Structures are given as C-alpha cells and as structure tokens.
C-alpha cells in the first residue's frame, strides 16, 4: 500500500533540538527541505505539517509538537481527518538497537519500548500496522543512562554526520518505499548497509 503520511518523532524545545531522541523529526525536516515542502504549524493536528510531491508521490509530512510520549495525539488526528490508514503511514524514529548512521525499515510489529510508538499505536485504535524507519543512534551501554543519552546529550559531530548522510536516500529507494514496494525498498536499503534484506522482527 502506498505511503500517504510520513511522521518524524521528536521532543519540542531548543534543549532537545540536537539530541538523539529527535532524529526522526530532523529527518522529516530535511526531507521537507530537500523536496521544497513548506511545513507550517497546524493546531488541529498538534504539529507542523506540509504536503508535496516526493519522487512523483503526493505525500503529507508531520512533525508532532507534543512531547514524544504524546505523539499519537498528532498522528491520530491527522490520520482520522484525511482518512489515512495505519498501513499508509511511515514513522521515522530513533533506535538504540543500531549504531549511528544505520537505517532499517520495519513493517508493523511491536514497539520495542519506544513511548512515542506506543502512543501512536493507541491513537490508531491499537493498530501497529504502520511502517517504521528506525534510525540508529547507538546505546550508552547501561540502562540507567538511557534517558540522558537520548534527551540530554547533544549528538557528537561525528555521529551526527553519519546519521545525516545515511538518510539522504536515493530517489529510486524513496519511490519504491512510497509506492508500497516495501520488499524492494528494504532490499536496497539493507543491502547497502550490509544487513539482512528484511527486518520484520523486534530486536
């Protein structure tokens, strides 16, 4: 099924702007700039939204302006208003299971402890059948350090460069992804990073 909505998760506020937890929102902002899609604040959708063409596909972009664990408020409202099904949504978010700069696509499944995804599932009537772009940010090595690692520490320049360069996806890959040819998109993305071609399982 074709993707109609791309969501990037982040926390609002300048103190979080360059943290690991915000890479999903930064990805969507970069995508908006790359394809000249203006984003504007829409209070009824609790976020910044825009609509434009990406590789021949009419797509809406959304960056919730709520805190991460309330992301579903924005996603649920825009999905309901425009009658977008969970299968037509791509959510970009941070993923500690992978190193910085590693991207993986995942079709539906669990939330792996991610509070933003949990709230989105709840807002979609309990459905986790949306596509995820998991953006690797690494792990601090100790569970007690996770919160600070994600939300308080600015991304080091070297890690930020790896992440930002990784999500400059080829237009052919974006076209396959947005058209709903997920197997082809997964194969291209994962093989380019020397990883298995499909990741539909939780880590």
Which sequence positions are flagged as catalytic?
21
Six-digit token string for 109: 């499944």
Asked whether the beta carbons of 103 and 133 are under 8 A apart, the reply is yes
Q: Of how many residues is the chain composed?
A: 203
4: helix, coil or strand? coil
Taking the CA atoms of 94, 2, 129 and 69 in sequence, report the sign of the dihedral they define: positive
Asked whether the beta carbons of 22 and 76 are under 8 A apart, the reply is no
């Amino acid at each position: 099924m074709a993707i109609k909505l791309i969501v990037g998760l982040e926390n609002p506020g300048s103190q979080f702007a360059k943290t690991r937890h915000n890479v999903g929102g930064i990805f969507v902002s970069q995508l908006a700039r790359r394809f000249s899609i203006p984003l504007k604040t829409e209070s009824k959708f609790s976020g910044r939204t825009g609509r434009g063409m990406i590789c021949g596909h009419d797509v809406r972009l959304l960056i919730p302006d709520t805190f991460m664990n309330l992301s579903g408020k924005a996603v649920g409202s825009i999905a309901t208003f425009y009658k977008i099904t969970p299968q037509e949504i791509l959510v970009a978010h941070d993923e500690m299971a992978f190193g910085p700069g590693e991207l993986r696509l995942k079709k539906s499944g669990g939330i792996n402890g991610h509070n933003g995804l949990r709230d989105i599932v709840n807002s979609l009537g309990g459905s986790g059948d949306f596509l995820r772009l998991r953006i690797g940010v690494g792990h601090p090595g100790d569970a007690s350090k996770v919160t600070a690692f994600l939300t308080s520490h600015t991304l080091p320049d070297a890690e930020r460069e790896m992440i930002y360069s990784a999500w400059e996806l080829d237009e052919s890959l974006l076209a396959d992804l947005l058209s709903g040819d997920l197997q082809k998109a997964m194969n291209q993305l994962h093989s380019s990073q020397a990883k298995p071609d499909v990741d539909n399982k939780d880590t």
